[in-house]
Amino acid sequence: MKTALKTSNPVRLATDCLVIAVGAKSKLSEEANEIDKASGKRLSSILSNGDFDGSLGSTLLLHGLTGIKAKRVLLVGCGELTKLSLKEAKKLLAGVAKALLASQAKDAHLALASLELAAADHYWLAERIAQEFVEASYSYSTTKSSKAKQTSLKSVSLAAPKGTSKAKIDAAYARGIATGRGINRARELGNLPGNICTPTYLAKQAVDLAKGKRNLSVKVLSEKQMARLGMGSLLSVSAGSSQEAQLIVMEYKGAKVKPKANRPAPHMLVGKGITFDTGGISLKGGLAMDEMKFDMCGAASVIGTMAAVVEMALPIDVVAIIAAAENMPSGKATKPGDVVTSMSGLTIEILNTDAEGRLVLCDALTYGERYKPASVIDVATLTGAAVATFGSHVSALLSNDDALAAELTDCGNLSLDQVWQLPLHDEYQHLLDSNFADIANIGGPRAGTITAACFLSRFTKKFKWAHLDIAGSAWNSGAAKGATGRPVSLLLEYLRRKAA
């Protein structure tokens, strides 16, 4: 999709579809007023019929308005027409994207220069427009006999206030497109069934992403290599499966380094990649077990983020580690009560084999120590307690560094991929005590999200670390079932700030 900045008068602009804003009670924006005058008050006449109420994000497609060059006019509701919050702007743009992609328009112009945002500017708006259009264009069809039809929309332009930099608008569009593509890549991986998206398949996606790219390299550790490193915790999860676990390591070197200078410490992402989770011997109930293909959405978001980092050519070094495994019951599966030794040397009593995400992540985190990272963010669909606490709207955040947590919270607010910090207090640690090992893998029925993070914190003492539990936000159930691609936009906002 091509994007551009255009400052032409909307009345004289030749386009397949002109988008203008209308508020509640038929209150017209500046651009809508111009169209109304040029069309001989035709717009006012249509609105007076009551077919469009101007509610936020609502749309109405009009044909045949005289006095203008646009073939169609799309009205988009913006409520009271005051300064819009970021969430309100997103809702408006999502409505526009859905309507335009469903139309037959080949190009569109968003005449929204008079639109005011409460906490951002038109550069943010341009980036968000591109992201919303790319996200809205995604439709899963990989395992369907009929494939999704391609949209006819090929280009979108935006009007902006005087003094707006075309170069900055172009850069914002490019960021939005890259972010949208990263999100869609994560959604596609999450939506694939477990018989296709295996640990080996995930590894291949990472390897394919690095092909032809000088600044991205990938290595994949086999189970034999992991065993030599002492990753008994991770390997305990894959023990019951015929699918071998994979430790996927992606290294992106984008930082600008002077000759003979040392490279800066990389920022690190760690993703949980359980490609299907039966619960192992602690078998889950059958209801909605099909959704356990989404238990690798943390890994999917890391791959999507890395793809966008490469596309944006961010001047930063990033290491991504994905612990991929399948959790299955069999005669070789790990049993409740078994004790395993992690790569760190800590022994773990496995009281519940369905608390497996932390078992793969702890060895991945220990492996990551060798990079001496500047910061580490792990992403995991880890606990049902996070779903009970936040539902699908907010991801849980826990961290051993309050400044890092505050920055991620701010990044989430700006990217509209929000998180909320939970306490990681020492008082919770004793819940993981074991009579038979250094630590148990569960902490009892209370504070499940916190005790899961407490478990991981035992393996993160050597770096600044944050844990994102996306169990509620990673996918939707019901009629809209599917992966969301979160928290790709949050992670990208964070890495972009580190690259600035």
Residue ranges covered by each domain of the chain: 2-137, 182-499
Query: Quick check: is 258 catalytic?
Result: no
Q: What is the largest CA-CA distance in the chain?
A: 83
pLDDT for the residue numbered 85: 95
This model's pTM is above 0.85:
yes
Residue 330 CA, chain-centre distance (Å), reads: 34
Across the chain, mean pLDDT equals: 96
Fold of 2-137: Leucine Aminopeptidase, subunit E; domain 1 (3.40.220)
Pairing of strands 347-350, 338-341: antiparallel
Pairing of strands 2-5, 155-158: parallel
Catalytic residue among 204, 219, 284, 481: 284
Catalytic residue among 42, 91, 293, 358: 358
Handedness of CA 220, 223, 224, 227 (dihedral sign): positive
Mark the ranges of the chain whose per-residue pLDDT is less than 70: 1
The stretches of 112-231 forming alpha helices (DSSP H) are 122-136, 166-191, 199-210, 223-229
Distances in whole angstroms, Cα of residue 314 to Cα of each of 129, 264, 431: 21, 14, 41
pLDDT for the residue numbered 3: 81
Instruction: Tell me the pLDDT tens digit for each residue of 286-296.
Output: 999 999 999 99
Instruction: Tell me the pLDDT tens digit for each residue of 24-67.
Output: 988 999 999 999 999 999 999 999 988 899 999 999 999 989 99
Query: Quick check: is 37 catalytic?
Result: no
Q: Report, in angstroms and rounded to the nearest whole number, the Rg of the chain calculated over CA atoms.
A: 25
Instruction: Tell me the pLDDT tens digit for each residue of 399-421.
Output: 999 999 999 999 999 999 999 99
| Count of helices and strands (H, E) across the chain | 14, 19
pLDDT for the residue numbered 134: 96
182-499 placed in CATH 3.40.50.10780: no
